[in-house]
């Protein structure tokens, strides 16, 4: 039986503050103290104390009171104050590297992506380049008085606790202590799988202010996210939270076998989904790329989409084989975890709604409970380097999840 731990007043205040910040982030509109009290279940006195702390620490600001009320005093909405609290996201991917700075009010204040061929790249070399990119960013943030609440690094591989990259097969990297790199240790960056972070990017209001735009899912919805790039990754979100599995590696849909007699994958198995629907595999099978190096060029997806729309036979056959494999793998995943929402990001999100609808029909036809369950397949709302954006979101989550570590309460 686990030993229970007593909760003191500081723990309770930290928890309540986290609830308030999370509620504000998930809301489409600014909320008054009374509205926050109603949504969180906290007393008005508690809300008044917590909002005073947030105002003092320049986390929130008071907007103009509501102009028209039927009775009583007009309510004063509270909103996140921009320019002070930011999360930092970095990414090294198969086609380049970059960073994003995300303000708690939901604004991307700075971002840069550098295209770079990454086949069998030396990790020391690429981390040195990332370090050189980040130093002026850190200097600008410090000069502006911004507080970087946290930094995360997205990588296309398996990352264990303690920032150890176990394997990134599309890089040829294995067993690397990421803390040895200055940019990681200096920023206190935590590394995570790119598909996991890309999925987090799709959860509205996870740590930064939710957009007022229409969103295909809500903050507490469940969905499977499929990340399609050179490799294929995935993540399972249950009621607004990532399900990581016992060892943190859940979601590796790209290495689900869809053909036991298929080609040998870099993971050592035959017939993995990645060998049919990954960017490298599709470009090679379509005939648009003559070798593996050309297949991962940043301009190849646009060429594939153009050739497919033009009715090119090679492109059409490659896309057909990829869709068949994708549908089989997604349907198997849905049958295992029993989820209705599926997002397919990366390469395939550029093909348009006709392909999306086709893939949705294929998946639906293979669901065991297809007469009772309707699968909704969608393209994600965040498509521009979503893993890098999700890494910045997680940087902010260190603040919203443990706010009193950053705030002065007196």
Identify the structural domains of the chain with CATH numbers, from first to last. 9-80 (1.10.10.10), 85-205+386-405 (3.30.420.40), 223-378 (3.30.420.40)
Read off the pLDDT of residues 18-51 as tens digits, 9 standing for 90 and up.
999 999 999 999 999 999 999 999 999 999 999 9
Q: Does 1 score more than 90 pLDDT? A: no
In this structure, the strands spanning 341-346 and 223-228 are parallel
pLDDT band, residue 376 (cuts 50/70/90): very high
Compute the mean pLDDT over every residue in the chain, rounded to the nearest whole number.
93
- Mean of the pLDDT values across residues 192-219? 94
User: 2 versus 164: which is more confidently predicted?
Assistant: 164
- Between the alpha carbon of residue 165 and those of residues 160, 162, 303, 398, the distances in Å are 6, 9, 33, 21
Q: Provide the pLDDT for residue 67.
A: 62
pTM: 0.93
pLDDT band, residue 70 (cuts 50/70/90): low
Read off the pLDDT of residues 300-320 as tens digits, 9 standing for 90 and up.
999 999 999 999 999 999 999
- Mean of the pLDDT values across residues 335-339? 95
Decide: 239 and 257 in contact? Cβ < 8 Å: no
- Mean of the pLDDT values across residues 393-409? 96
Q: Provide the pLDDT for residue 200.
A: 97
Distance CA(228)–CA(258), nearest Å, equals 16
Pick from 57-71, 125-139, 388-402: least confident: 57-71
- Mean of the pLDDT values across residues 351-364? 96
- Mean of the pLDDT values across residues 335-358? 94
Read off the pLDDT of residues 161-185 as tens digits, 9 standing for 90 and up.
999 999 998 888 999 999 999 999 9
Q: Provide the pLDDT for residue 229.
A: 86
Q: Provide the pLDDT for residue 74.
A: 75
Read off the pLDDT of residues 243-285 as tens digits, 9 standing for 90 and up.
999 988 899 899 999 999 999 998 889 999 999 999 999 999 9
- Mean of the pLDDT values across residues 221-243? 94
pLDDT band, residue 95 (cuts 50/70/90): confident
Q: Does 119 score more than 80 pLDDT? A: no
- Mean of the pLDDT values across residues 207-211? 94
Q: Provide the pLDDT for residue 292.
A: 83
- Helix 44-56 / helix 9-26 crossing angle, nearest 10 deg: 80
Share of residues in the chain with pLDDT > 70 (%): 96
- Mean of the pLDDT values across residues 70-90? 88
- Mean of the pLDDT values across residues 229-239? 92
Q: Provide the pLDDT for residue 363.
A: 97
Distance CA(165)–CA(92), nearest Å, equals 12
Q: Provide the pLDDT for residue 69.
A: 53
Decide: 233 and 194 in contact? Cβ < 8 Å: yes
pLDDT band, residue 139 (cuts 50/70/90): very high
Q: Provide the pLDDT for residue 5.
A: 54
pLDDT band, residue 220 (cuts 50/70/90): very high
């Amino acid at each position: 039986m686990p030993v229970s731990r007593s909760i003191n007043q500081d723990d309770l205040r930290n928890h309540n503050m986290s609830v308030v910040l999370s509620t504000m982030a998930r809301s489409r509109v600014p909320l008054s103290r009374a509205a926050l009290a109603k949504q969180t279940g906290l007393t008005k006195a508690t809300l008044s104390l917590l909002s005073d702390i947030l105002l003092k620490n320049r986390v929130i600001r008071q907007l103009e009171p509501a102009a028209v009320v039927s009775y009583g005093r007009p309510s004063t909405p509270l909103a996140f104050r921009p320019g002070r609290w930011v999360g930092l996201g970095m990414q090294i991917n198969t086609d380049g590297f970059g960073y994003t700075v995300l303000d708690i009010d939901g604004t991307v204040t700075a971002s840069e992506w550098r295209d770079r061929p990454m086949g069998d790249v030396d990790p020391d070399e690429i981390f040195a380049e990332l370090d050189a990119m980040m130093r002026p960013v850190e200097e600008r943030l410090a000069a502006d008085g911004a507080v970087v609440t946290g930094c995360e690094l997205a990588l296309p591989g398996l990352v264990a606790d303690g920032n150890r990259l176990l394997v990134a097969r599309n890089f040829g990297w294995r067993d690397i202590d990421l803390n040895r790199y200055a940019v990681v240790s200096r920023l206190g960056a935590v590394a995570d799988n790119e598909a996991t972070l890309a999925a987090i990017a799709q959860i509205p209001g996870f740590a930064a202010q939710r957009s007022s735009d229409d969103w295909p899912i809500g903050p507490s919805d469940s969905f499977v996210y499929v990340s399609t790039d050179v490799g294929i990754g995935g993540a399972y979100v249950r009621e607004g939270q990532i399900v990581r599995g016992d060892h943190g590696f859940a979601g590796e849909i790209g290495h689900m076998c869809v053909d036991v007699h298929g080609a040998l994958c870099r993971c050592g198995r035959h017939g993995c989904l990645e060998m049919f629907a990954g960017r490298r595999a599709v470009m090679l099978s379509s005939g648009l790329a003559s070798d593996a190096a050309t297949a991962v060029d940043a301009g190849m997806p646009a060429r594939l989409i153009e050739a497919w729309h033009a009715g090119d036979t090679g492109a059409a056959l490659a896309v057909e084989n990829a869709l068949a494999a994708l549908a089989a793998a997604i349907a198997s995943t849905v049958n295992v975890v029993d989820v209705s929402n599926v997002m397919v990001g990366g390469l395939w999100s550029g093909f348009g709604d006709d392909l999306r609808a086709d893939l949705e029909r294929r998946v639906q036809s293979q669901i065991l409970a297809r007469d009772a369950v309707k699968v909704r397949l969608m393209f994600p709302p965040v498509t521009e380097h979503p893993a890098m954006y999700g890494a910045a979101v997680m940087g902010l989550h260190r603040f919203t999840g443990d706010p009193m570590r950053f705030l002065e309460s007196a």
